[in-house]
Structure 1
Amino acid sequence: MGAGVLHARTAAARLTLNRYPPSAGLAALVNNYWTVRWDLRGQPPHEQAILPHPTVNLAFEAAGAAVHGVDRKIFTRRIAEEGRVLGVRFRPGGFRPFYGRSVAALNDRVVPARSIFGPAADEACEAVMTDGASDDAMVAAAEELLLGQRVAADPLAERVAGIVERITADPGLRRVTALTEVAGMTERRLQRLFAQYVGVSPKWVMRRARLHEAALRAEAGADVDWPALALDLGYADQAHLVRDFTATLGVSPARYASRG
């Protein structure tokens, strides 16, 4: 499943996750749309854990539409009976043009979408949650809401997204000082830009990218060479990786791998 879904094999037996690309008009700001559907009628509820990315999400569900800021801890959602959710995963920095101020104010928070998008958010949620609505229809309702905001182009949002994508793609970027050279800006400016557009620091983004990769390797099913992986991901040694992984996910890498 990817995208931070922990214990993916177990999740696949409980829910269905699909992702869809944005239209060309929103591609600079939106990473993807995602839908989750489940039918657990007659079965126990399921608690799904997510290791969040440094991105803001807009979620539409039966309880209403809400904006989820960057979660700096594990996010756990309990699902039961039957239901569905449509989400908009913005690119890192991509929510800043809609919000109009520092997205750090949203960290670890969930706020009603209407407080940012106005009554149109509630109207879009009604359309999304219409009985029998297909994924295509739900995505179209979200697209209409976002396009209707008519946000101005923001070159900094695209630049920040590119920097974060570089961090994710290059495990060799292990220090903020190295990132400043890649980004072509001072450390102070980089820190301020990330606070305004991403909500978290470059160092936090680097650490989270390493943990995502470690979790994916652990779930791959094959024996993992933990000392080699630790070095590949920029940790000083295996013990450092184990401490970081355990502090964030609550279990050691080996225990996590054994759970599947």
Structure 2
Amino acid sequence: MRPARTQPRGVLRRNLDTANLRYGRYLPAPEHAHYIEHYWFVGWDLRGQAPQLQETMPHPNVHVVVDPAGSGAFGVHSGRFVCELAGVGRVFGIKFRPGGFRPFLGRPVSTIANRSVRIGDVFGADGDAYEREVLACDDVERCVALATRLVDAHRPAPDPGVARIAAIVDEIAANRELTTAERLAAHCGVGLRALQRRFGDYVGASPKWVINRYRLHEAIERLAAGAAVDWTQLALDLGYFDQAHFNRDFKKLVGRSPGEFARAEGA
């Protein structure tokens, strides 16, 4: 079991008391890396303590989650994810690469956007058994082994579309110059309509949405670093016409203005 070394992005509550929280991310087997980004685990014991609010920004990924409060395969969610941690609990998830869930689902990923389906609806009886076993398991390594077995048993035929869409999404994340869907389509050498259809089919969100989310992820990381910010320049760097537009988008998604977030969460 190999821990993922990259730092998680999109965390909106940076100042949580982590003394009684456990969190880990683990890489998949090499033969599954085409589809899966990583496995993840969160556990907490907050008995006798105040609940903690966890908030994260959405990513263009599908998660298959086993949670006593409600398991399922969760499509791309357009809003921020908010969860109150209280008492004792643990959650285990499989984070699929952008596009990686399409061959398992067998239909456009846009059909589960902003909602979830039962794990058994995707993986049949094996999915139901997997959910029961993970709910009864308190060993992370065993949970990873169970997830690996499930994915291996249902590994689909090779789909070159998965690699193509994942490469495009990786390019969006890495290339700050890609600030519009039109610019992305030209960069990829495809028509805008074709790109939009491909994203709806494999990612479950539009290219415009994915670009906007990655640019806001970048803004959050800059603000959380605690450095002095030129707000107008930051907005322009992220592809906004002006600071007001950036402020509106940021507050709508994060729930706080950029300045409020920087003051509360900055290093």
TM-score of the superposed pair, with normalisation by structure 2: 0.91
Equivalence for 1:24: 30
Equivalence for 1:160: 165
Equivalence for 2:96: 90
Alignment of 1:160-199 (within 5 A): 160-199=165-204
Distance in 1 (CA, whole Å) between partners of 2:17 and 2:118 is 27
Residue 7 (structure 1) aligned with residue 10 (structure 2): no
Which amino acid in the other structure matches residue 70 of structure 1? V
The counterpart of 2:108, out of the listed 89, 102, 105, is: 102
CA RMSD of aligned residues (A): 1.6
1:104 alignment partner, SS class: helix
**8 A contact 1:55–1:89 mirrored in 2:** yes
1:8 alignment partner, SS class: coil
Question: Aligned in 2, Cα 1:248/1:35: closer, same or farther, shift over 3 Å?
Answer: same
Distance in 1 (CA, whole Å) between partners of 2:212 and 2:137 is 41
Distance in 2 (CA, whole Å) between partners of 1:190 and 1:86 is 33
Which is further off, 232-241 or 19-28? 232-241
Distance in 1 (CA, whole Å) between partners of 2:8 and 2:262 is 15
1:153 alignment partner, SS class: coil
Residue 54 (structure 1) aligned with residue 57 (structure 2): no
In structure 1, list runs of 5 or more residues that go unmatched.
Answer: none
Distance in 1 (CA, whole Å) between partners of 2:178 and 2:242 is 17
Following superposition, the deviation at residue 28 of structure 1 comes to 0.7
The counterpart of 2:118, out of the listed 108, 112, 123, is: 112
**8 A contact 1:71–1:109 mirrored in 2:** yes
Residue 35 (structure 1) aligned with residue 41 (structure 2): yes
The counterpart of 1:210, out of the listed 188, 192, 215, is: 215
Give identity over the alignment, percent: 44
In structure 2, list runs of 5 or more residues that go unmatched.
Answer: 1-6
TM-score of the superposed pair, with normalisation by structure 1: 0.94
Question: Aligned in 2, Cα 1:255/1:175: closer, same or farther, shift over 3 Å?
Answer: same
Equivalence for 1:250: 255
